[in-house]
Structure 1
Amino acid sequence: MEFEISTIRDQAPQPAKAALFSSGRTRFRTKAFVAIVPMTVTFTFGLWGIRRQNSMWGDESVTYQLAHRDLTQIWRTAQHVDLVHAFYYAIMHEIYGLVGGGLLTLRLPSVLAMSAAAAGVGLLGLRLAGIRAGLLAGLVFPLVPQIQQYTQEGRSYAMVCALVTWATYALVACVVRHTRWRWTAYGSTMLLACLLHEFAVFALAAHGITLLVSGVPRPALRAWSVTVACIVVGLLPLAIRSSGESGQVSWIAWPDPVQFLGFLAMVTVGMRCARRPMNVRGEGPRSFRTGTQ
């Protein structure tokens, strides 16, 4: 009898373990599907006509020329012009040093970066609203005209988009499961995005408003505030040094009324969505107010 009871005890947890393993494998497959499909579509669109009949526009030619200089020359140039893009030029310099090439090397990093951004958009939708929302968001993303433009442009914008997207995904993970290494990942990714382009700092404002509207717990808000302070401190030297070059972008006009209204509508919809608690099966936090899934 003792042997039989012991045998039953040993065998009882097995179905639960098998179910848990099967559930984990299913979640992994779902995440892989929602990430890989948008990433593949974006990558395919990005490769289509990537050479543009072997032509490049003005800013791309600047990237091409500076990326072929050594790092010392890039730094000297950045002291007078384009300091905000110096980090990107340094990255492209290293890429050209590794693989060489011409237009394909100039634009392929942007294609890869935007493909990674599409995967992040899909996973964000999956986590926040379920499988269908994630897959649809990831597939619509590469159809946006501006996304198609920057996917094939030899500038930093695609990399910044990818970093901000994945920082946002990390932020959601931080709110759901409050750990130090998650906040470090979020802060490091956002700082890298800001160093590639200072205007990425405005994503922090969007993140903060979203957290406030969503009603996340106070510990998460405090951790986010500390992380943002670290990002700002890391970005401050670049912001101060580059402020003297603001005349380079003085020609950029304010958004026209139509653009402003479109932006306002997007913000309004986003805030309404942030206030709506999620009740989805499977992936996704049910409510940021409790921080539970």
Structure 2
Amino acid sequence: MRKQSARNEAWPAGDIAWMAGILLLGLIVRLFRIDHQPFWLDEALTSQRIHLDLNGLIADSFTNRHMPTYFLLLQFISQFGSSDAWLRVPSALFGAMSTGVVFAMARRIGGRGAGMVAGLLMALSPLQVQYGQEARSYTLVTLLITIALWGLLRLAQNPARAALDIRHADSERWGWATYVFATIAALDVLGDAAPWLIASNLSLWLIWRGLWLESSPDLSVAFRRNWLLSIAVIIACCVPFYAAILVTSGGHMMQNFDWIPEMSLQHLWVVAGSVYLMRMTAVVKFDLLHTAVPMLGAVVALAGCAGLFRMRRRLEGQVLLLGVMVLPLLILAISLFKSMLLPRYILWSAAPFFVLVGLGAALLPRRALPVAMTALFLMGVVNLGPVYRVETKPRWDMAAATLAANVRPGDTVFTADPNAPTMLTVLQPKHGTPIEANALVTSQLDQAVARWKQGGRIWAVNGRSALGEREELAEFKNRMAALGAPAVEIPQGKEITILMFPAPDEPAPN
């Protein structure tokens, strides 16, 4: 029976302190200016859903192909605070905890240096920080799958113990329990975790195959028993929820994804650069934003290749590689028929990748490693700066405040984006007069024009609330040509413009 090294069993105080420091760093960078960006569409829908009653929340979640789990958590948390930032705090906490688990995995395999590099990358990844400041469940799923991967690596390091009956004193109970229960939790939070089942079971097959090739028929049979038991438990705990989604969605699990851009080489680069290479992406535009440290991505890629080369003959390395590759390859395969390629859909695969990067960086000479980690920390912090400065989400909060302050009874607010009325409702000032109290908000142009002909003003809002094609302002104005020239044009951030058209018999303001 293979034994673990001492570094895998007992953690010195120094390692615990470093992990705590990286976890704290991950929390600080996620909490810093957490309210800087306004809600975008997904977060606005989160806010609406958690204000439903219990039955309504569950029904709305299943109907929209979501698990209700995370929304129930936010509904509970909302009792202690109602601000938008407060709803984002759980994501920040889960994202920070992921940095600690990534540190623990890399340290277990490659020592303290590997853990520090991997943890720093997870803490300072712009994309991880962006989703750590969003009121959605992506960081929780990433955390849970990272915990499950930690359990899977324990099984890969101790195949003989993993094959023992879980009631046996020497059984790898922690590995099996961590893998099974974290996998169940991830699957019951978000369907994006489903590809983890493929990656993890391929890893378990590799462990079983290793026992079989080592001419250990009894151990291979015993391991297969534990493996099948894990599958049965996971299926029993998850199938009812997915069946509920299938029934309430009318069996159309893959519909309503037409807003995702078609796959292209540019889009592949956007996804790879943002998920793995420390780049920042806009939320409603499929594009990478300016990076403060261009060389950082190349350094990370090089260290990742070194880590993969170092671990190429080890079972743990194969498990990590499957954790990185299965998800994007599956999404790519699906995208050949229906485009599904988005950074957030492969977010959790960054965790095993950063572990490989840490293992590659740990190949540096001992004296060079502290210098390299210091440079990585400094580059990572500087590279993270634009996350707090650049507008990555449309300023519907500004648009809502402007309209709330200026509409009057009889006005109409026309929005080019059909989801914009939701944005205006959720993001309008909390203590002011609701926009709907004075004006009709609609995305139907004929309805807006009919009210204008009856003597009401039109406030036309051009802008998008989520990823998808945006109507250019010139085209939008052409579509509104029947109303004449706008009397007022008000930019609201980079993505939104408000045009005010006076009533037919109303003189234009000077």
TM-score by length of 2: 0.44
In structure 2, the CA distance between the partners of 1:170 and 1:278, relative to structure 1 (3 Å rule), is closer
Mark the runs of 5 or more structure 2 residues left unpaired by the alignment.
Answer: 1-6, 163-170, 212-219, 276-300, 317-510
CA displacement 1:21-48 (0-9 Å, x = unmatched):
xx99972424413421221111111011
**Correspondences of 1:99-248 after superposition (within 5 Å):** 99-175=80-156, 176=158, 177-178=161-162, 179=171, 181-182=173-174, 183-212=176-205, 216-217=210-211, 218=220, 219-220=222-223, 222-243=225-246, 244-246=251-253, 247-248=255-256
Identity %: 24
CA displacement 1:227-247 (0-9 Å, x = unmatched):
134213322222233243532
**Counterpart-to-counterpart distance in 2, 1:124 and 1:221:** 25
Indicate the residue corresponding to 1:77 in structure 2. 60
After TM superposition, what 4+ stretches of structure 1 lie above 4 angstroms from structure 2? 23-26, 211-216, 219-222, 260-263, 268-274
Q: 1:252 and 2:260 equivalent?
A: yes
Indicate the residue corresponding to 2:471 in structure 1. none
Q: Which one of the candidate residues 19, 27, 36 is aligned to 1:52? A: 36
In structure 2, the CA distance between the partners of 1:188 and 1:254, relative to structure 1 (3 Å rule), is farther
Q: Which one of the candidate residues 1, 4, 17 is aligned to 1:33? A: 17
Paired residues of 1:121 and 1:138 also in contact (CA < 8 A): yes
Q: Which amino acid aligns with 1:207?
A: S
Q: How many residues align?
A: 253
Q: Which amino acid aligns with 1:248?
A: N
**Counterpart-to-counterpart distance in 2, 1:25 and 1:227:** 25
**Is the partner of 2:66 in helix, strand or coil?**
helix
Cα deviation for residue 278 of structure 1 reads 8.7
**Is the partner of 2:11 in helix, strand or coil?**
helix
Paired residues of 2:149 and 2:179 also in contact (CA < 8 A): yes
Which structure: greater strand fraction? Answer: 2
Which structure: greater helix fraction? Answer: 1
Cα deviation for residue 203 of structure 1 reads 1.6
Indicate the residue corresponding to 1:275 in structure 2. 312
- The structure with higher relative contact order (CA 8 Å, sep 6+) is 1
In structure 2, the CA distance between the partners of 1:228 and 1:28, relative to structure 1 (3 Å rule), is farther
Indicate the residue corresponding to 2:78 in structure 1. 96
**Counterpart-to-counterpart distance in 2, 1:187 and 1:223:** 11
CA RMSD of aligned residues (A): 3.3
Cα deviation for residue 194 of structure 1 reads 0.7
Q: 1:86 and 2:68 equivalent?
A: yes
Which deviates more from structure 2 when the two are superposed, residues 107-116 or residues 243-252?
243-252
Q: Which amino acid aligns with 2:42?
A: D
**Is the partner of 1:252 in helix, strand or coil?**
coil
**Counterpart-to-counterpart distance in 2, 1:274 and 1:233:** 35
Mark the runs of 5 or more structure 1 residues left unpaired by the alignment.
Answer: 1-22, 280-293
